[in-house]
Amino acid sequence: MNIDTIANNIQRNLEKLSIFNATPGEGCTRLPFTKEARQAADYLKICMANAGLKVHEDQAGNVIGVLEGEDPEAPALVVGSHFDTVINGGIFDGLAGVVAGIEIARLLKESGKPLKRNFVVIAFNDEEGMRFGTGYFGSKAMLGQITIEDLHRYKDKDGISVYEAMQEYGLVPEQVLDAKQDLSKIKAFIELHIEQGPVLYQNKVDIGLVECIVGIQRYLITVHGRADHAGTTPMDMRIDAVEAATKVISKIPDWAREKGDGTVATTGFIKVLPGGVNIVAEQVQFTVDIRSRNNDNINDIVAKIKEELDKACKANGASWEMDNKLTIDPVNLNENMLTLLEQKCQDYGYSYQRIISGAGHDALAIGQVLDTVMVFVPSKDGRSHCPAEWTEYKDIAKAVTIIHDLILDLQ
Ligand code: HGY
Ligand code: MN
Ligand code: MN
């Protein structure tokens, strides 16, 4: 396998896909069920077909390509990642794993070596949860974990539900239930992904072999106060939603620091209503994203948040509600495949190390129920979820070669 050819193919496809972007010049934004998502999905179908895959789009908007093996009854090997992005993100997060899967299919096809098992490449829809605050939509649909009620419940910042967005995208929402796959027909799932953190880049290591992916809980918290005149309302007569909310928000980072164990907690979104310079805030909405490889840490921080919300609201008459948008357990990945991949890194002379993933991925959802492994490649300066996100195409090509060989081993 020629590393330069693989790297050039990956670069060409990622650069082409990067133009399907709602914020050109300000990073990459490709939210689910949008024009940009449609453009990327259609381009991926062409790439998959050119690589010799049989392509279809499932009822959740996942794009699926199959390289048929000699025994279609044998459980398949699946490689994939997501094709949506965060807002103003990078061009590698997700799509690097999809384009790598297509490249592996091309190599398998060109080698002419007979495959016993189907080799499947999946571009998952809406892994990030950026538009609806959730996450892992496409992979959870494949697992049969999405309900019609979910489609109506989750809405974007403009109040559009997943259900309505799916209709606009040309899908029939009720059919999302048909996206569920027979998991007995899948032997293993492998996801190549950029590390999105600093470890591999700082250690100058080529390959990260992910042992564990942290658990995540996400909430949208709403604090209800009362709009009043900022000048005439005495301080002891106010029901100031910002005062109550900020007492809680300011404590969350230290609660995570106290936990250690790689625990992190983030408030990435805050909205104040009505939002006037001279109006006491009537409402504050904010998100929390809490992660740890130990669920007890997450649950403990959630309990502290509820306690503090009670205290802060009792002090000034405000009230609060807390909407759970995502709860997913930590997952340990497949030791057998990790060991095989270590051997391949040695065979090729790639440096490698085992690593924990602080980022969730489709592998986090799929790894709960199927044999799963992740292969990380270095992120320059550890940056991701921002326009500065960068990974060397050659590093992705190295990961392609070891996953390609693993696919042959697992026949
Ligand atoms: O948020 C994450 O961990 C991932 O990028 N979806
Ligand atoms: Mn991401
Ligand atoms: Mn990702």
Number of C-beta neighbours around residue 282 at 10 A: 21
pLDDT per residue as tens digits for the range 268-300 = 999 999 999 999 999 999 999 999 999 999 999
* Coil, helix or strand at residue 49: helix
Counting ligand 1 atoms within 8 A of each CB, the residue from 361, 364, 374, 386 with the most, and so the one to mutate, is 361
| Mean pLDDT value of segment 50-72 | 97
Number of the ligand 1 atom closest to the C-alpha atom of 359: 3
What pLDDT sits at residue 261? 82
pLDDT (0 to 100) of residue 371: 98
Alpha carbon 324 to its chain centroid, in Å, reads: 17
Structure tokens at 317: 């008459």
Q: Indicate if ligand 1 lies below 6 Å from the C-beta of 97.
A: no
Residue 341 pLDDT exceeds 90 = yes
Q: Does 264 sit in the ligand 1 pocket, CB within 6 Å?
A: no
Give yes or no for residue 112 having a pLDDT over 90.
no
Model confidence pLDDT, tens digit, residues 208-254: 999 999 999 999 999 999 999 999 999 999 999 999 999 999 999 99
Q: How confident is the model at residue 260 (pLDDT cuts 50, 70, 90)?
A: confident
Amino acid at 276: G
Ligand 3 centre to CA of 311 (Å) is: 37
* Percent of the chain topping pLDDT 90: 98
Of the two residues 103 and 260, the one the predictor is more confident about is: 103
Transcribe 312-361 into DSSP letters. HHHHHT-EEEEEEEEEE--EEPPHHHHHHHHHHHHHHT--EEEEEESS--
Nearest to 62 by CA among 90, 93, 94, 28: 94
pLDDT confidence of residue 121 = 98
Nearest CA to ligand 1 atom 3: 359
Q: Which residues contact 247 (CB under 8 A, 6 or more apart)?
A: 308, 311, 312
Q: Which two tokens stand for residue 235?
A: 């301080």
SS3 405: helix
Task: Return the number of other C-beta atoms located less than 10 Å from residue 4's C-beta.
Answer: 10
Q: What confidence tens digit (pLDDT) does each residue in 137-155 have?
A: 999 999 999 999 999 999 9
Question: What's the whole-number average pLDDT of the chain?
Answer: 97
Q: How far is the CA of 93 from the centre of ligand 2 (A)?
A: 6
**Does 113 have pLDDT greater than 90?**
no
pLDDT-based confidence at residue 128 (cuts at 50, 70, 90): very high
CA 206 to chain centre: 22
pTM of this structure: 0.90
pLDDT of 72 reads: 86
The residues, ordered by sequence, that sit 6+ positions from 182 with a Cβ below 8 Å of its Cβ are none
Could you tell me the distance, in angstroms and rounded to a whole number, from the CA of residue 83 to the centre of ligand 3? Answer: 9
Residues making up the chain, counted from first to last: 411
DSSP secondary structure code for residue 79 in this structure: E
Is 90 exceeded by the pLDDT of residue 189? Answer: yes
pLDDT(258) > 90 = yes
Q: What is the pLDDT of residue 267?
A: 98
